[in-house]
Amino acid sequence: MFSGDQIASLLSEVGVTHVISVPDSTIGQWEPAIERTGRIRLVRVCREGEAWQVAAGLYLGGATPLVMIQCTGLFESGDAIRNALHDWKVPVFSIVGYRSYLDQAKLPGDTCLVFTEPILDAWKIDYRLITSPAELHVIRDHFLSCRAVGRAGAALIAE
Amino acid sequence: MATASRIPLVSALQTLWRVRRDDEVVITTMGSAREWMTLGEPHALDFILVPSAMGHGTSIGLGLALAQPGKRVIVCSGDGSLLMNLGSLASIVAANVPNLVVIVFDNGVYEVTGQQPTAAAGLGRLDGRNADFCGVARACGFDSVHEFNDATAWANDARSALDSKGPTFISLNVEPVVGGTAPHSPGPTAARAQQFMEALRR
């Protein structure tokens, strides 16, 4: 839906300093462009729960982190999200790949479509669903509005 | 995870308290947090990670070390906690953070839940062998790896171990605290986070 250069440019524009990520086949393609910016550091972690807590440490240390994971990683992140976003009130913004939203032929009946949005609601993460290339600006606007009020948020990118 | 000799947990923490420099961040979790809070007045750069997410002290430490490259960040983790987030050792090395020190206080048990053996402790394994945390750290690529089984050796060499080329991994074989319970939060989290951020900016 988006090129790496589009995403890297957007993240640079809004002042993201670190992207903490476990890739999937869509968001992983953005990594080279993010690294090419020279302004954003890509932090590779082994499992998505780590990403939220690395982001929390970065935020406490004065940086502007962003978590970039697939929705399957969101499912495994529960305790880390609960602690970072709700216990410690760290307003981490995330980009979450929404597996099977656009392509339901590869994994027919993929339960990611059943659980992703209810899980985001359950963790009280204010998200915007992005389903077309024309909605790039929605990510930027939502990031900036969340930052302005110190609230965690997410852009849910249809895949 | 040697069993022949173990350091009393409080003694191990007292050494860290004594040698800790004023500009060093110390993150404590679970049993180490419980005992650290009894040692004296809190330091502005103490981050008592209570409440925590399971095993994520090392990950918060990685983030802090990346954001604050001029400050040494010392993470006090339990062995049970580390097992829950063992991949973080690879993430730490991948991020190349020379200012991060991970200390694992290895007592072989989940202390605060009643001292059940961990899956890495000989007592919890059918083959009776202890897992080798230092070996895992070396295999992940930590530049400096130290192991202490003796309180005097730790007291004598703690500072040089903390100062070694990082990222640094230190394993302290400590005694479980009989009746040790989960630590109490020292105060509202959001306010503590704010105070900690302000201390880092000073």
Residue B193 included in any domain:
yes
Asked if A56's CB is within 8 angstroms of B60's CB, the reply is yes
- List pLDDT tens digits, range B123-178: 999 999 999 999 999 999 999 999 999 999 999 999 999 999 999 999 999 999 99
The confidence score (pLDDT) of residue A28 equals 97
Identity of the residue in B90, B91, B200 whose CB atom sits nearest the CB atom of A62: B200
CA distance linking residue A143 with residue A155, whole number of Å: 8
DSSP A11-48: HHHHT--EEEE---TTGGGGHHHHHHTSSSEEEE-SSH
| Residue B48: burial class (beta carbons within 10 Å; 0-12, 13-18, 19+) | buried
Say if residue B2's pLDDT is above 60: no
- Is 0.90 topped by the overall pTM? yes
Query: Mean pLDDT, to the nearest integer, of B101-128?
Result: 95
Asked if A62's CB is within 8 angstroms of B53's CB, the reply is no
- List pLDDT tens digits, range B20-75: 999 999 999 999 999 999 999 999 999 999 999 999 999 999 999 999 999 999 99
- List pLDDT tens digits, range B171-182: 999 999 999 999
CA distance linking residue B79 with residue B22, whole number of Å: 27
B59, B82, B86, B192: best to mutate for the A interface, most A CBs within 10 A:
B59
For residue B101, what are the β-bridge partners? B74, B168
CA distance linking residue B194 with residue A50, whole number of Å: 22
If you measure CA to CA, which chain B residue comes closest to A54?
B63
Q: Which residues of A touch B (CB under 8 A)?
A: 18, 20, 41, 43-47, 49-50, 52-63, 65, 79-80, 82-84, 87-90
CA distance linking residue A110 with residue A90, whole number of Å: 31
Asked if A57's CB is within 8 angstroms of B67's CB, the reply is yes
Say if residue A30's pLDDT is above 50: yes
Residue B138 included in any domain:
no
A50 SS3 class: helix
If you measure CA to CA, which chain B residue comes closest to A91?
B190
CATH of the domain at A22: 3.40.50.970
Residue B50 included in any domain:
yes
Which residue is associated with the tokens 């659980």? A115
Asked if A61's CB is within 8 angstroms of B200's CB, the reply is yes
CA distance linking residue A81 with residue A65, whole number of Å: 14
For residue A149, what are the β-bridge partners? none
A41, A50, A69, A76: best to mutate for the B interface, most B CBs within 10 A:
A50
Comparing C-alpha atoms, which of B73, B67, B57 is closest to residue B20? B73
The confidence score (pLDDT) of residue B179 equals 92
Q: CB-based contacts of B47: which residues, under 8 Å, 6+ apart?
A: A60, B25, B26, B27, B28, B60, B64, B196
The minimum CA-CA distance between A35 and chain B, rounded to whole Å, is 13
- List pLDDT tens digits, range A40-53: 999 999 999 999 99
The confidence score (pLDDT) of residue B168 equals 98
In the DSSP assignment, the letter for residue B41 is: S
Q: How many domains does chain B have?
A: 1
Write out the residue range of the structural domain in which residue B188 sits: 7-128+144-201
Rounded to 5 degrees, what are φ and ψ at B101? -120, 125
The minimum CA-CA distance between B38 and chain A, rounded to whole Å, is 23
CA distance linking residue B95 with residue B63, whole number of Å: 10
Q: What separation in angstroms does the CA of B177 have from each of A66, A158, B113? A: 39, 50, 12
| Residue A137: burial class (beta carbons within 10 Å; 0-12, 13-18, 19+) | exposed
Cα of first residue to Cα of last residue in chain B, in angstroms, is: 39
Cα of first residue to Cα of last residue in chain A, in angstroms, is: 8
Q: How many CA atoms lie within 13 A of A45 on its CB side?
A: 28
Give the other-Cβ count within 10 Å of B21's Cβ. 12
H/E segment holding residue A129: strand A126-130
Query: Mean pLDDT, to the nearest integer, of A92-111?
Result: 96
Q: Which residues of A touch B91 (CB under 8 A)?
A: 43-46, 50, 54
Write out the residue range of the structural domain in which residue A88 sits: 4-158
Q: How many domains does chain A have?
A: 1
Q: What separation in angstroms does the CA of B181 have from each of A135, B65, B82, B95, B112? A: 50, 29, 18, 34, 4
CATH of the domain at B85: 3.40.50.970
In the DSSP assignment, the letter for residue A85 is: I
Between helix B9-19 and helix B151-163 the angle, nearest 10°, is: 40
Residue B93 included in any domain:
yes
The confidence score (pLDDT) of residue B5 equals 83
The confidence score (pLDDT) of residue A76 equals 96
Give the percent of chain A with pLDDT over 90.
Answer: 99
Give yes or no for a contact between B107 and B172, defined as CB atoms under 8 angstroms apart.
no
- List pLDDT tens digits, range B118-127: 999 999 999 9
If you measure CA to CA, which chain A residue comes closest to B86?
A46
- List pLDDT tens digits, range A137-151: 999 999 999 999 999
Asked if A60's CB is within 8 angstroms of B67's CB, the reply is yes
Query: Mean pLDDT, to the nearest integer, of B95-99?
Result: 98
The minimum CA-CA distance between A86 and chain B, rounded to whole Å, is 9
B62 SS3 class: helix
Amino acid at B81: S
Place B4 in a pLDDT band, splitting at 50, 70 and 90: low
Identity of the residue in B53, B90, B91 whose CB atom sits nearest the CB atom of A83: B53
